[in-house]
Amino acid sequence: MRKISVLLLIVFCSLNTYVRADEGMWLLSLIGKNYEQMKAQGFRLTPEDIYNVNKSSLKDAVVGLGNANSPFWHFCTGELISGEGLFSTNHHCGFGMIQSHSSVENDYLRDGFWAYKKSDELPNEGISAQILVRMEDVTSYIMPNLNDNMTEEERTNAIDSIGRILSDRAVEGSDNDAQVVDVFNGNQFLLFVYTTYRDVRMVGAPPQSMGKFGGDTDNWEWPRHTADFALFRIYTGKDGKPADYAKDNVPLQSKHFFPISLKGLKDGDFAMIMGFPGSTDRFLTSFGLKEAIQQNDLIHNVRTVKINVLRKKMAESQKTRIQYASKYASCSNYWKYALQQNKALNKLNTMQQKVDIENNYKRWAAGQTDAKYGKALDMIKEGYAEGNEARMARLYISEGVLRGPDLFGFSLGIYNRLTAIIAMPNTDEKKSATDKLMKSVSDFYKDFNPEVEQLLISQMFDYTYKNMDKKYYPSFFNDILAKKYKGNADKYADFIMKKSVFASKEKLESVIGQYKITDLKNDPAVVIANSAFDKIYEIRNETKDAGIKIEKGDRYFVDGLLQINKDKKLMAPNANSTIRLTYGNIGGYHPKDGVYYNYYTTLKGVMEKEAPTSSEFMVAQKLKDLFEAKDYGIYADKNGDLPVCFISNNDITGGNSGSPVLDAEGNLIGLAFDGNSEAMSGDIDFEENLQRCINLDVRYMLFIIDKFAGAQNLIDEMKIVK
């Protein structure tokens, strides 16, 4: 999963206003401002039921999934569904974890995985799960220390310094973590305090034929029939506090968990989603939009090269399919997103809407005494014009060299870590650091195929070399690929794989074991990585002044928009991976003239889509048997059909994947997992008539856990509302 205009941000409606889509990823602590509108749309709880720091509330059941080295950046959301730390999220969120535990002998991707007792649950090193403790507006602590005469660097340093002090004070004497983030482009600052859990174990996942049903073809599309869920559990130390993985850790005692409703859904029913949306750019100007469209085209084109290589090689063996499944999924998701977003931006005439907003802003700015508002758009325009070529070149290097093949980013990381280890005295610390480095090597080569890598290097270097602006070539393109190999990327790739230590796990382990740093310094992979990063840093310095103009101009521009709308309507800040709430209603939509999409799908649609020769549309025999027997149990709807997915007009983006979809009483009715392609412009421009959130119906999830997997142990943990 992974998305009118800013001046049309949601009006704070009265009770008499008709129900419509609500643009806004709202801050929980301020949700009281939306309460009357939420009630008008069907909400039956109170703001205190959503966010309360003195007693349990809905916020306590929402889980932000991250990586241990960056826990505040949440790649997905989950929701607690039992008193013992069991939580659900999307299959595609857990895909990397499922893949990491898979092998030819235990192909959990193909066959699924179910823990029928807690001792069978599988640990996932490096995964974190955060739950919000509280949040606070700290703008009044920071703004008095800032002024417009500061350079952007001075401003950033001041914000960071004060933010660290506030964060440290907020968690002093506790096991919590905190961060200060800016919203509204640096015009407001918020403190978030979380409890971060570090022992997350895999509990269950359906086969890929169900959890990823539809594959790339159905991604970002409705109607949908995907069982996009997986189950995990949070563990703590015996004292109930966050702890690193240990076999004798105990399940989290949930402060709150969501009851699961089997009552069924109707067109127009209230639906709200809580989660951790990653990023949006709703205040983007027309100048920024022009560059965003260029970037989308570039990313889609470069990733097409990578996807074609992976598709070819993954089809050749089961082992390669397992090794590259997660990498392929990660690459292909944004590959299709970039394509569909540009289509939607063009179809919905987003550029003109941005221009209209800017013209309205100019009329307002002309009447202001502070000249900074009048300069804002000119600053932004200049910044984009001055740095465009260089930024596009940087993106080519990132996509074609560092994110394309696997070797280069990995090799430089190993080289830098080994350099630091060699500088250590011969102590237990040095041995421990070396052991960790060896484990990183082992983890990398588990999912590495030299034949695939050589083809990726050849194809991606060839495309990047031929398409990027030559004046921004990294040095190895000029000095080696052009001069030595006359632009022949096939021969260059062959040389790299024959000469690089990094092409072989055994060779690299030998070098590390003997601390032979000189063997790595001139290694072809390290040379390429250093060259690529040197050029990226060079471009970053070249575009620094242009970036400052954009950053400063954006801040003034958004400040002006806030003032324009101060007494007219509520405005939600852009998503930034902090917890938010969006509310709306269940309902279908008209994607184009003469076509109407209903708001739900059933298991019948899975059978209609079945294509036994397609890896995307295979149907498990057991699922077909259950369908033929209509053995749906308590999970059937009133018509005797089994619900699979439904849509709502909630405002979500990447990071919301796995988010709980809740009814008017706070019961779990679904898991958000995608958006519709017709409104893929949503990260930049919310389209209230088209934007839909695609959700897994919890009845399909429970049916699979119960009837398909026979995991009654998991059903027994949950609170089912009928």
The DSSP code sequence of 568-627 is T---PPPP-SS-EEEEEEB--EEEETTEEE-SEEEHHHHHHH--TT-TTS---HHHHHHH
Specify the residue for token string 């709430």: 581
393-430 per-position pLDDT tens digit:
999 999 999 999 999 999 999 999 999 999 999 889 99
> What is the Cα–Cα distance from 190 to 62, expressed in whole angstroms?
19
CA–CA distances in Å: residue 199 to residues 59, 122, 251, 252, 565: 20, 10, 9, 10, 45
H helix runs in 398-543, sequence order? 407-422, 428-446, 450-467, 475-476, 489-499, 505-513, 517-521, 524-542
Do residues 485 and 356 share a domain?
yes
Domain boundary among 498, 519, 544: 544
Do residues 382 and 423 share a domain?
yes
CA–CA distances in Å: residue 666 to residues 229, 270, 278: 20, 10, 23
Residue 604 in any domain: the answer is yes
Which amino acid is present at 582? T
Q: What is the pLDDT of residue 427?
A: 87
> What is the Cα–Cα distance from 635 to 448, expressed in whole angstroms?
42
Mean pLDDT over residues 458-478, rounded? 98
Domain count, the chain: 2
Do residues 646 and 613 share a domain?
yes
Q: What is the pLDDT of residue 80?
A: 99
Residues 6+ apart with CB under 8 A from 327: 310, 406, 447
CA neighbor of 650 nearest in space, from 304, 327, 270, 333 = 270
Residue 144 in any domain: the answer is no
Catalytic residues: 92, 228, 657
Residue 353 in any domain: the answer is yes
Q: What is the pLDDT of residue 18?
A: 34
Q: What is the pLDDT of residue 13?
A: 32
pTM over 0.85: yes
Which amino acid is present at 621? Q
> How much of the chain exceeds pLDDT 90, in percent?
95
Do residues 218 and 315 share a domain?
no
Please state the separation of Cα 269 from the chain's center in Å. Answer: 27
Do residues 274 and 299 share a domain?
no
Residue 137 in any domain: the answer is no
> What is the Cα–Cα distance from 78 to 276, expressed in whole angstroms?
9
Do residues 274 and 295 share a domain?
no
Do residues 101 and 231 share a domain?
yes
Position with higher pLDDT, 31 vs 7:
31
177-233 per-position pLDDT tens digit:
999 999 999 999 999 999 999 999 999 999 999 999 999 999 999 999 999 999 999
Q: What is the pLDDT of residue 20?
A: 52
CATH number at residue 716: 2.40.10.120
> What is the Cα–Cα distance from 575 to 224, expressed in whole angstroms?
26
Q: What is the pLDDT of residue 15?
A: 29
Which amino acid is present at 195? T
CA neighbor of 134 nearest in space, from 81, 74, 77, 190 = 190
Written as six digits, the tokens of 424 are: 């250590």
Q: Tell me which DSSP letter residue 50 carries.
A: H
713 lies in which domain range?
6-126+198-279+577-721
> What is the Cα–Cα distance from 653 to 89, expressed in whole angstroms?
15
Assess whether pLDDT exceeds 90 at residue 625: yes
Residue 285 in any domain: the answer is no
* pLDDT tier, 521 (very low <50, low <70, confident <90, very high otherwise): very high
Do residues 231 and 343 share a domain?
no
3-state SS class at 688: coil
* pLDDT tier, 569 (very low <50, low <70, confident <90, very high otherwise): confident
Do residues 528 and 586 share a domain?
no
Assess whether pLDDT exceeds 70 at residue 93: yes
Do residues 414 and 303 share a domain?
yes
Phi and psi at 549, nearest 5°, equal -60, -45
Q: What is the pLDDT of residue 21?
A: 66
Do residues 400 and 307 share a domain?
yes
Residue 97 in any domain: the answer is yes
Residue 217 in any domain: the answer is yes
Residue 561 in any domain: the answer is no
Do residues 263 and 333 share a domain?
no
